[in-house]
Structure 1
Amino acid sequence: MLTGLVCTLAVVCAPSISMARNFDADELAIEFAEIRPTGADVTVTPGADATAAGVVLDFEAGKSGYPGVYLMPNEGETWDLSDFTCIEFRVINQGEKPLYLTSRIDNKGDHTKKPWNSDSRRIKPGEAGVIRTFFGYSYRKAAFKLDASKVSKLMLFTSKATENQSIKIESIKATKFKVPFKSDFAPVNGELFGGASSFDVGQQLVTQNGAMIEGGADAQPLKVEFSKADQSVQFRAWNARWDLRKGHQLVVTLKNVGRSAVSPSAQAVSVGKKTTDRVTVTEPIQAGQRAEIIVPFMPAIPKLAGDKNKFESNKVEYVALYASDSDQSQVLEIESVVLASPAITLPEWVGQRPPIEGDWVQTFSEEFDGDAIDLTKWNIYGPNFWDKISHFSRDNVAVEDGNAVLTFEKRFGHHNDDPKSTRSNEYATGFLSTYGKWVQRYGYFEARMKLPEAPGLWPAFWLMPDRGLDAGEQWQRQSINEDAMEFDIMEYLSGWGTNRFTVAFHYDGYGKDHKATGAGVYTAQDEEGYITTGLLWLPGLAVVYNNGVEIVRWETDRISTVESNIIFTFVGGGWDNLPIEDGELPEDFEIDYVRCWQLKELASDVDGVQSTQNTLAAPTTPDAR
């Protein structure tokens, strides 16, 4: 194990240098045994010593996607940098164009699990810049829990060069620079304030515009006094952000200990000043009375597709309590601020009919009441375009207790259980699709689902166009150009927690003209832990309902006019997820039922069964006549 590091450039610079660890040092100049270019398009000019100071990297235009260098310790060894918080690269852009540089710190391990931390910086021509990559963080977010005592290599690279570029490394050091990113703190038992919480009023309660506080420590009640309508107090996590992903609403309990009736309000504010609704007590609190302010994470008014106020419950900066809209004296005793996740009762129509009146006919009903998947309706094999770590397997699709169960587990195998497949992965998962077997244009599509909790997973309920066998290959049948689109009815990243998912509509292809809109939403579960989500698809209109409530609406002439099939995927990753934790696998995505309806006036010959072939994958030939 090394504490000093030495240098070759595929290119030997110096012998290995061994350094004694200095626990009191604020920084350590790293020495390298080797600096290895990623390819022939990177030229390395050595510096004066093994620390990489003065090393020049020249990038030739257009040869590779991410040109750069690997910075290595002695063969078979690692660096122990556990006394530090980050690696600091100081570089000069010697080229004539801005350069976007990325630094990376690696542990040994399976590359598909991305055992590294990264960060980037844009550096202008002729300027010096510092890139700090902190252990446990990537791109300013908590990420892979890197073991700083076993760093196996460093990397420094840029994006594809459109013209020749050059940088000079001034230094590469391990430092004790304070981590500037706030950690996420999940309140114990959901108690942000009050109860058994360890809330420190002096450090965590912030007053605004002259609000006054008294008590709140040593079991004393916390009193807040407002004298103006613009005053408020903020309940913050200690040097952190609140991680409230385990609930879908906040409950602020308080007592009016003043002389006049008051109507305070509350809301939660996440990173980027994204907010919940600001909720006022339902009726004025009279002197001496207690009351609750319930702040749902889901807005009272349904979202329009494209809504930019994407409140993030796992990144809450503070919970605010605001004065009444009055300059009179207001004195409140705050008893508690608690995260809650009560179960809900669904409206009677859910699962029985569509949400709007009309001459509806049920066209598809899958209750999963048997002991196996009905392969005349569903495919369990197909291409996996969505992640690079999992393969589809029939062993990961089951019917149990009236549910279809898709299981994500760590099990190496070939995609679609085909030993001839060129794709094999360490994770296995289940897949369901009616592609080639059943489609419908317009109508109402609903599923009742139980979401997984293990981090790093990405289940979804969605529709894709299917123009049928005569349209050609799958990419032609399922193109979202022209009049078609992808409907993501429920798309969930498990790192968000089971009370949040997203709705999205994708159209105009997946290339340079691709467009998308949608919204993030919050949800409760029913008494059995399920959510029920549906899409109302009509000409010029797409409305998504969740647990019987409208949540997202999009009205436009661009709504798809092409018949579509149903898909359930359960892969890993996603754009804003946590790393997969093998110790929490296997994990299940359960589907209780899938039900669809059609308006009689919108029914057409394209609707319904395309094939009844009993196949694991989509049929490639028409049914026999």
Structure 2
Amino acid sequence: MLSRRHLVHSLLFVLAALALPFAASAQLALPSTAEAIATIRTEKNAVATLDTSTGQPALRVELPADSGYPGVNFPLASSPLDLSAFNAIELEVSNISQTRVRLHLRVDNPGDWKSSPWNTERAMLAPGETKTIRLFFGLSQGQPAYALDPKRISGIKLFADAPKQTNATLLIKRLAAVTAQPPVPPPAANATPAAPRPSTSALPETNSQFSPPISGELVDLKSPDALAKLKFNHASGTIADGKLTVAFATTSSYPNLYILIPKDGLDLTAFAGIELTATNTGTAAAVTNLRVENRPNARADELGQKPWNTEKLTIKPGETVPLRLTFGQNNGSPGYDLHAGRVSAIQLFLINPKPGTTLVLSDIKGWGSASDRSVNTVLTKPADRTIPVTPPSWIGQRPPVDGDWVRTLDENFDGEKLNDKLWTPSFPWDGLQPGQLQRYSAENVTVSGGQASFKAEKRRGHHNDDPARPARDYTSGIIQSYDKFTQLYGYMESRIKLPTTRGLWPAFWTMPDRGAASGLNIWQRRSTSKGAMEIDIMEHLCEWGPGRHNAAIHWDDYGENHKAWGTGIFYGPTPDGWHVFGLLWEPGKLTWFIDGKKAAEWENERVSVVPAYIKLNIQIGGWATKNVDDAKLPDYMTVDYVRVWQLRDRLKN
């Protein structure tokens, strides 16, 4: 979480202009001197300078590669600032570099960072592209979000996802407060949120104004009022011959189409899910996502899940495909346990469409019956965090399932130094991890007394202790077995004592390795596409507190085709504070264990068929909060052992 210090010196954008009589918009003053820009606070080594190359003063911002979320904080003339005569902020910005960059415009209210008292709007800019980013108060990414109070603006900032490998450069040409028509009604400022439901299972099965006919038809595309039942954001639609043609604009990274839902929700309990048929009539592939939502609720919050299901499909030019979503699944795998009787939103959105992207849609309907849905395979619940656990006596001696098992790795961290025949205390590549705060140092992994200790601290230094590499303010430790130990299938576990400092993100995980004999380069060997995947056995955000971690998988690389599944796992305290995290990896099935107890499973033919190597590390920031509790550093993850087993028959084969 970035701090909000409000500068009132020579302002880049003089918001005092807002004291003038209000119109539909108020152009805010641009800087006239380099000295004025020098008062602006930047984040993550971004550099702000005055640019007059276009004949008009503009703010030039250099965004360094691999540096977290670089950006600028626009100083305010008063704190808080009253923008109640307007309903939005918009910013005109050009990408004058040779690399694509994703930008986020954010407006804040005062308040506890844990409640996220802000709204954001994002945009992707290609090299040479200019866009106007418009943020409506009360909306984030064009959808209802935190009910921002425009009378109490405490911060305005622009930041970016760190560009990869090459620095990016922006020209900010205009910042204005405006009044415009929002894509959807925002929540009222200071509105009291509805009391959270205790759980989806406690909701009445039906209380909706509309249930579709037995055919499942959600929108009658032959009806003369069909378009009135749809809403388009950064897209437009026409209907002819019972088919809906949607043109998606490039003014948003996520243009979408909504099916309008009755106020009390839509009852789809009779169906297994929803589906449609889509034809890509454009010239570029369309990364298409179908999503069904419940309203925010307490159960989703407890489980650390978003209250929706999504099905993602890349549609090639000229291709006609069915897009089918099953309630309770994400991308065909177990996901949030959606309440089909209280559907609050249905949308189809694209990710970063290319110019001219158009889909022709038909047969938008519910499919199947409730009996066709998958069973939820998450086997723990938040209440488990309060129940003390005594791990069984056999734990660590064998896997928690029957079989003729052979131990293939038995790392007990004996001696006084790391076993360099098994472990490397750095990533296989030299670069920093984008969006995170730490650099890695071999000094931050020590071995003593039969344990490995991973130290996370506030200490600036060069990545991998190499002066030629970038420097960061936080230092952490990692070990991984790339090129030294891999295994396909079997059982893996580690006994770990986790750190507790806010902002830390310890993990025990695997990545694919196709081996040196494959002749592939390091990135191809480790790609999660073509039958491989990242498997997160345990990843824990310390701000969650004890008794909760995440299990997850990622596949088809990390770009537009990326797919993932994950779930929260909950468990009680042990007498000594140690926990044993395990994974059973079988053909077509993954099963996670905590302290010898089965906690989650994922059964799918897409389970990885590529050997994997092991990683243990502490990350800082990134998915975890960047508001690190420095006062509690250094902190440590301690690992007692790492053990791996394989079935004897697989060793023979």
Match of 2:439 among 391, 408, 431: 391
Supply the AA of the counterpart residue of 1:451. L
Contact 1:544 1:553 in 2 (8 A): yes
Q: Mark the CA change 1:45 to 1:72 in structure 2 (over 3 Å): closer, same or farther.
A: farther
SS where residue 464 of structure 2 aligns?
Answer: helix
Q: Mark the CA change 1:440 to 1:157 in structure 2 (over 3 Å): closer, same or farther.
A: closer
Partner of 1:594: 642
Per the TM alignment, residue 308 of structure 1 is displaced from its structure 2 partner at its CA by 0.7
- Whether 1:425 aligns to 2:463 is no
In 2, distance between residues paired with 1:94 and 1:582? 36
Partner of 2:415: 370
- Whether 1:574 aligns to 2:622 is yes
Supply the AA of the counterpart residue of 1:522. F
In 1, distance between residues paired with 2:85 and 2:580? 47
Contact 1:310 1:519 in 2 (8 A): no
Partner of 2:558: 510
Per the TM alignment, residue 573 of structure 1 is displaced from its structure 2 partner at its CA by 1.6
Contact 1:275 1:309 in 2 (8 A): no
Contact 2:120 2:135 in 1 (8 A): no
- Whether 1:355 aligns to 2:396 is no
Partner of 1:120: 120
Per the TM alignment, residue 462 of structure 1 is displaced from its structure 2 partner at its CA by 0.7
Partner of 1:410: 458
In 1, distance between residues paired with 2:537 and 2:490? 13
Q: Mark the CA change 1:86 to 1:93 in structure 2 (over 3 Å): closer, same or farther.
A: closer
In 2, distance between residues paired with 1:600 and 1:376? 24
Per the TM alignment, residue 181 of structure 1 is displaced from its structure 2 partner at its CA by 8.5
Q: Mark the CA change 1:130 to 1:589 in structure 2 (over 3 Å): closer, same or farther.
A: same
Q: Mark the CA change 1:531 to 1:43 in structure 2 (over 3 Å): closer, same or farther.
A: farther
Per the TM alignment, residue 525 of structure 1 is displaced from its structure 2 partner at its CA by 3.0
SS where residue 274 of structure 1 aligns?
Answer: helix
In 1, distance between residues paired with 2:138 and 2:550? 32
Once the two structures are superposed, the pairs formed by residues 550-569 of structure 1 within 5 Å of their partners are 550-569=598-617
Q: Mark the CA change 1:525 to 1:305 in structure 2 (over 3 Å): closer, same or farther.
A: farther
Once the two structures are superposed, the pairs formed by residues 213-362 of structure 1 within 5 Å of their partners are 271=297, 273-274=299-300, 306-309=334-337, 341-362=386-407
Contact 1:442 1:563 in 2 (8 A): yes
In 2, distance between residues paired with 1:94 and 1:523? 49
Per the TM alignment, residue 343 of structure 1 is displaced from its structure 2 partner at its CA by 2.9
Q: Mark the CA change 1:83 to 1:133 in structure 2 (over 3 Å): closer, same or farther.
A: farther
Contact 2:444 2:477 in 1 (8 A): yes
CA deviation vs aligned residue, 1:505-541 (integer Å, no higher than 9, x gap): 1112222222111211112232111111111111111
CA deviation vs aligned residue, 1:340-367 (integer Å, no higher than 9, x gap): 7343111233211112211111111111
In 1, distance between residues paired with 2:157 and 2:550? 34
Partner of 1:490: 538
Per the TM alignment, residue 446 of structure 1 is displaced from its structure 2 partner at its CA by 0.6
CA deviation vs aligned residue, 1:90-146 (integer Å, no higher than 9, x gap): 447999xxx997235699xxxxx9xx98532589x9999743799xxxx8499xxxx
SS where residue 446 of structure 1 aligns?
Answer: strand
Per the normalisation by structure 1, the TM-score is 0.53
Per the TM alignment, residue 307 of structure 1 is displaced from its structure 2 partner at its CA by 2.4
Partner of 1:246: none
SS where residue 334 of structure 2 aligns?
Answer: coil
Supply the AA of the counterpart residue of 2:106. S
Once the two structures are superposed, the pairs formed by residues 527-566 of structure 1 within 5 Å of their partners are 527-566=575-614
Supply the AA of the counterpart residue of 2:575. E
The root-mean-square deviation of aligned C-alpha atoms, in Å, is: 5.5
Partner of 2:64: none
- Whether 1:102 aligns to 2:135 is no
Contact 1:570 1:589 in 2 (8 A): yes
Aligned-residue sequence identity (percent) comes to 30
Once the two structures are superposed, the pairs formed by residues 70-85 of structure 1 within 5 Å of their partners are 71-72=74-75, 81=79
Per the TM alignment, residue 542 of structure 1 is displaced from its structure 2 partner at its CA by 1.0
Q: Mark the CA change 1:515 to 1:346 in structure 2 (over 3 Å): closer, same or farther.
A: same
In 2, distance between residues paired with 1:509 and 1:600? 32
Contact 2:8 2:75 in 1 (8 A): no
In 2, distance between residues paired with 1:437 and 1:576? 30
In 2, distance between residues paired with 1:515 and 1:458? 21
Per the TM alignment, residue 388 of structure 1 is displaced from its structure 2 partner at its CA by 3.8
Q: Mark the CA change 1:590 to 1:90 in structure 2 (over 3 Å): closer, same or farther.
A: same
Match of 1:461 among 508, 514, 538: 508
Per the TM alignment, residue 577 of structure 1 is displaced from its structure 2 partner at its CA by 3.3
In 1, distance between residues paired with 2:7 and 2:55? 24
Unaligned runs of at least 5 residues, structure 2: 20-26, 38-47, 60-68, 94-101, 124-130, 164-170, 180-187, 199-205, 207-294, 304-331, 340-382
Match of 1:169 among 176, 194, 197: 176
- Whether 1:526 aligns to 2:571 is no
Supply the AA of the counterpart residue of 2:460. F
Per the TM alignment, residue 503 of structure 1 is displaced from its structure 2 partner at its CA by 0.7
CA deviation vs aligned residue, 1:478-518 (integer Å, no higher than 9, x gap): 11111211111101111211211111111122222221112
In 2, distance between residues paired with 1:179 and 1:554? 42
Per the TM alignment, residue 405 of structure 1 is displaced from its structure 2 partner at its CA by 0.7
Per the TM alignment, residue 376 of structure 1 is displaced from its structure 2 partner at its CA by 1.4
Partner of 2:633: 585
Once the two structures are superposed, the pairs formed by residues 601-612 of structure 1 within 5 Å of their partners are 601-603=649-651
In 1, distance between residues paired with 2:92 and 2:441? 51
Partner of 2:241: none
In 2, distance between residues paired with 1:393 and 1:100? 31
CA deviation vs aligned residue, 1:73-96 (integer Å, no higher than 9, x gap): 7xxxxx66269899987447999x
Supply the AA of the counterpart residue of 1:548. G
SS where residue 588 of structure 1 aligns?
Answer: strand
In 2, distance between residues paired with 1:487 and 1:87? 50
CA deviation vs aligned residue, 1:138-190 (integer Å, no higher than 9, x gap): x8499xxxxx99x8x84468999xxx999883479xxxx976698xxxxxxxx
Larger Rg: 1
Supply the AA of the counterpart residue of 2:411. E
In 2, distance between residues paired with 1:438 and 1:86? 60
Supply the AA of the counterpart residue of 1:274. A
Per the TM alignment, residue 594 of structure 1 is displaced from its structure 2 partner at its CA by 0.8
CA deviation vs aligned residue, 1:385-423 (integer Å, no higher than 9, x gap): 36542111122111234321101001111111122x322
Per the TM alignment, residue 578 of structure 1 is displaced from its structure 2 partner at its CA by 5.8
Q: Mark the CA change 1:584 to 1:84 in structure 2 (over 3 Å): closer, same or farther.
A: farther
In 2, distance between residues paired with 1:67 and 1:167? 19
Q: Mark the CA change 1:70 to 1:561 in structure 2 (over 3 Å): closer, same or farther.
A: closer
Contact 1:450 1:591 in 2 (8 A): yes
Contact 2:436 2:619 in 1 (8 A): no
Supply the AA of the counterpart residue of 1:458. W
Q: Mark the CA change 1:574 to 1:6 in structure 2 (over 3 Å): closer, same or farther.
A: closer
SS where residue 525 of structure 1 aligns?
Answer: coil
Contact 1:89 1:171 in 2 (8 A): yes
CA deviation vs aligned residue, 1:276-312 (integer Å, no higher than 9, x gap): 79xxxxxxxxxxxxxxxxxxxxxxxxxx95321499x
In 2, distance between residues paired with 1:498 and 1:406? 18
